[in-house]
Structure formats: C-alpha cells, structure tokens
Chain A
Amino acid sequence: MKQKMIKGTLILLGGTFLVVMLVLPLATVLVYALRQGWETFSKSITDEYAVKALQLTLLTTGITVVVNTVFGIFAAWTITKFRFRGKQTLTTLIDIPFSISPVIAGLVFILVFGRIGWAYPLLEAMNLKIVFAVPGIVLATIFVTFPFVSRELIPLMQAQGNDEEEAAALMGAKGFSIFRRVTFPHIKWALLYGVILCTARSLGEFGAVSVVSGHLRGKTNTLPLHVEILFNEFQLTAAFAVSSILVLIAVIILILRNIVEHRIKREKR
C-alpha cells in the first residue's frame, strides 16, 4: 500500500515536471506559430531568408553526420580493437567537445582561422575563407558533435571484445571484410543511434555557430540563428513558425530514436 503511494506520487511529480518543463513550452511554440493564422505561418517559413537558413542547416548537418560517422567508426575501431600506448588519452581527447562550452569551440576557430589567427596568411594566400563563411559553420558543428558516434560505439565494442574478429582473421579474412561481416552486424543499431543523436545536435547547434557565423543574412545564417534574428526583430510569430520546423524535425528524430533504442534492447536480450 505504502509502496503504491510512493510510486503514484513519484509518477505524478515526474509527470508534472515533464509537462511544465517540456510539453507546455513546446506547445507554446506551436500556438504562437499559428497565432496569426496559416497564411502568416506559411509566409514565414517560405520567406527567402528562412529557406536559405534551412538549406544551410541541412547542408551543414549532412556534411557533419557523414564526417563524424566515418571518423567515429575509425576512432571506435582503433580504440577497441587494438592495444597501444596513449589509448586512454585518445579516448579522453575525443570527449573534449562534450565538456567544452560551444562558445569556446567557436572562439578557437576564430583564433586559428580569423584575420588575427595564425593560419590566416596561409588561407589568404590560397584565397580561402573559413570563419564567417560556410566552412567555419561546418567545422564548428563537426567539433561540437564529434563524440556522438564514437561514444555510442566504444562501450558496445569494448563489451564484445575481439574474439570474433580474431577468429575471422585466423580463418584468413581481410580487414574490411572482417568489419563488414563480423563487426558491423553487431554495432549497426548503436551506430544508427549515434548518427541520429549527431543529426539532432547538428540541426540545433547555436553557440559555436553563432560565434563563427558573422550573421550574414542569406549566407551564413543557420535556422537556429535565423530564429534569434526574427525574435529580435519583434517578429514573434515568424520566429515561432520557423522554430516549429525545428520542433517538427526533432519529433521525427525522436520517433526514429525510439525505434532504434527499442531494437538495441532486443539485441542485448
């Protein structure tokens, strides 16, 4: 009886907290977005700058996910399947973006590639622009989302050990086919999970991108930056309309994530 009461209270508390902190604010976004009717809503999301911001966000996310997936697999493979000195250091290094504030990540790129940065004369000579241009935004996003894929893979691959790969090697399989036929089937769900998290984070990244963007409209504004601009221009409805695109993408990602999570649990059983 007593236990039941505790259980009930906890569920109630948790539920209330969730509604107040998450559901209500998200619902507000949609309410505000549609407050002035469908026409204003569709006008805001088809606005030239909004569309360009969405394209830039999708482009950035696309590049980021591909790069981080490839490097995530490499890193996880290296760390879990080989023994070498400095392995612990490497693992720690990969985690740096988790513990660094995104603002600092952005500033680091400014200090390296900016006009006062040490790499600037070199870039100038090659006529390349990194910060305050699209490459800087992509770099900053890659930096911030760097650990997502490898973080998902490393614990799983560590738990599985090397036995199966060693057996495959003994039977004469080559590197890539070991990966494709032995390792990959074990890690595929975790990999997809990491990719999904990485996508979600890249779509929403604000801090680091804000520092390196320069806020040039139609050129270096991502969707989250565009939302801030609209908000600052007293265009509340438009700001929330554009936010609702991000919310919609987030919901889709959440559903995908749940499917994958469910599968990971089944695999473990």
Chain B
Amino acid sequence: MKHIFSFRKTLALAIALATIAGTLSGCAGNNSPAASSVNSSASAASSAKPVAISNVSYDPTRELYEQYNKLFQEYWEKEKGQKVEITQSHGGSGKQARSVLEGNEADVVTLALEGDVDELRKGGLIEDGWVNEFPKNSAPYTSTIVFLVRKGNPKNLKDWDDLVKPGVEVITPDPKSSGGARWNFLAAWAYADKKFGGDEAKDQEFLKSLYANVTVLDSGARGATTTFVENGQGDVLLAWENEAFLSQKEHPDDFEIITPSLSILAQPSVAVVDANAKKHGTEEVSKAYLEYLYSDDAQRLEGKNYYRPSNPDILKEFGDTFNLNIEMVNIDDDFGGWEKAAGKFFADGAIFDQIYKK
C-alpha cells in the first residue's frame, strides 16, 4: 500500500504552513506602521530626523510611561518638530540596572532606587553628581509603602504590628532584586525602631518574625502583586502605593488599601545614562524627556497614575486620592542615605541575609 503522506508531500505541507505564517505576520506588520504613519502625517512639518531613545524602568511604572511617552512625543514634536520613538523595558529595579550595566543600552533609566542608578555611576555609565541634575534629588514623583488586603480586611490588619502575628501570610518581593522590597523592609524597620526606641536587637527580632510570615518572595514588585491579586496567595501585600491603587482599580470589589501609622517616603530616581546617550547622540532629547516629567501636565498624569507628584501644589489637587497625613521617614534623614542603608541591610551577609537565613 502506498502511503498517502510521502516525504515530499509532508515537507511541502510543512513549508507551505511556514510560508503562510510568515506572510500573515508580514502583512500584519506592514499594516501597523502604515496606520501609524497616517496618524502622524497630520503634523508632517517635521523636518528633523526622527530620534529613538529607550527608557529602562522598573515594574510598576508600565502604565505611567505608556501615557507619558505619548505626552512627551507630542510636546517634543511641537517644540522641535522632531519625532521621538521611545522603547520601554520593565522589570525588577535591580535586575534592570544590572541589564544596563551588562550592555542593555538605555538612554535614560527611571528606576525604583537611588542605589540602583548609582550602580550605573559606579559602572562608569553615568557621570558623578547625577542626583542633582534634576530637581528634588532627581525624583519627579514619589510614593510610599502601604498594605493591600482582601475586602473587609478579614484578618484585621491595621499596622505593622499585625503583620508579625502568627498565621498572617505576607507577600513581599525579594529585597535582593527588587527596589520596592527594599522600601518595604526599611518602612518596617523604621516602625520597629520607633516602637522599640532604637533597640536594634529588637528591631531585628521584629523583622525576623515579619519575614517568617512571608510565604512567597518574588523577584520584582509586579510579580508579587500578581501572586497576591491574580493567584490569590497571602493575606496582605506590602506594596507601592501606586501599585496598590492600580490593583484596587482593576478589582474594585476585592481589595482594600490600609495605610499604616508610619511609612517611608520612596523617591524613585531618574537619570540620563550619559555614556549611552553620548554614543547614540541623544543627550538633548534624553535630558528633555526627564525634565518634562516635572511639567504641570506630566505631574498631573503622574498623580492620575497614583504617584505622588513632587510639585506640592499639584499634590494637593490629589488630596482626595492620597492620605497626606501619614507619618513618613525618609532615606537621607533616617537611614543616612542609600549607600549606608544598602551596606547595612542588603549587602551579602548583612542584616537581611542574617534574619532570612536563621
């Protein structure tokens, strides 16, 4: 019996399918640039050559920068008559800094921690004194750490004290790889420090019982949110305020935000990666991209995306959204800056390693 599938037929079938797949994606691909060029041809006055920059950012800023990039593109085209293409990348803050250090050629970084940006300075990619290149320590928006709990707060979690009780399951990312997780850790530490009147042995004990209640330690803030929100793990998520608001917006009937009595002022840092911008010839547009984050329009956009605008007047406009009375410690006054805090708490063998290993 001659078999219906000869080698040639089978091969031809496979090649035909591959070609179809290729053509389909090719067509679709050709469509989208065509569509976008129609949109932008209205402002065809642009004589300058289009420029492309990439922004390597951390996890929870995805929605913010998607909107901000459009705002900036319009602004820049009006201002300079030049189109800007902006490529985004998101992940855990430490992981993202690492990738830039290893050759991911970002023109600007917008990370969760001053310390992560400073790693790039140490790696020779960013010039000294970057913290003062933009206003307010190069932090155009701030945030803080809050608790996200399930609707009705079934375990009645009100403050940091409640998180160390036995049987409470806490979700927070790993401070080794996540910027948000470091803020979580420091906020808890600040609370303990106030409670025990500066007795560090007791602080460590407190943090140890807190981390003993952590059931999932993800590598980035967004992973931890997904674990808590989508996968239904744990009783409380220690989260960026903006991340908590976003989850609540996605699932209005499932979650509540609890503001603890004391938290930390988190200042996510932005910087131009000088070496890469110089190499790509994008210094001017990169600098303008970050400067424009401080404009009134951008500040309002940040507020709408649940980041606290650094401009105090615009922050007041969002008084209904944010709890502006929360007591906040900050990294410079209470922990002596990132360099010191990182060495004391998060370096290999430092306090976090000690309490987590025991």
Chain A interface residues toward B at CB < 8 A? 46, 48, 51-52, 54-55, 58, 62, 110, 113-117, 120, 129, 131-132, 188-189, 192, 196, 214-219, 229, 231-234, 236, 249, 252, 256, 259-260, 262-263, 266
Contacts and interface: CB of A to CB of B under 8 A. Distances in A.
* B interface, over-half SS: helix
Nearest to B17: A252
Interface of B: 3, 5, 7, 10-11, 13-14, 17-18, 21-22, 25-26, 28-29, 31-32, 36, 54, 56, 59, 62-63, 87-91, 99, 101-105, 123, 222-223, 226, 229-230, 246, 250
B7 A263 contact: yes
A231 B227 CA distance: 11
Given A58-B21, A114-B102, A215 B90 contact: yes
A266 B3 contact: yes
A208 to B, nearest CB: 15
A132 B103 contact: yes
A48 B32 contact: yes
Nearest to B124: A115
A256 B10 contact: yes
A114 B31 CA distance: 35
B99 A192 contact: no
Contact of A256 (B13, B56, B63, B102): B13
A266 B6 CA distance: 12
A232 B56 CA distance: 16
A158 to B, nearest CB: 21
Contacts of B226: 231-232
B5 A116 contact: no
10 contacts: A51-B25, A51-B29, A55-B26, A132-B99, A214-B104, A215-B91, A216-B89, A232-B222, A263-B5, A263-B10
Contact of A259 (B10, B17, B29, B223): B10
Given A263-B5, A263-B10, A46 B28 contact: yes
Contacts of A129: 103, 105
B14 A196 contact: yes
Contact of A54 (B25, B56, B102, B105): B25
Contact of A232 (B26, B87, B99, B223): B223
Contacts of B21: 58, 249
A54 B250 CA distance: 28
A115 B288 CA distance: 27
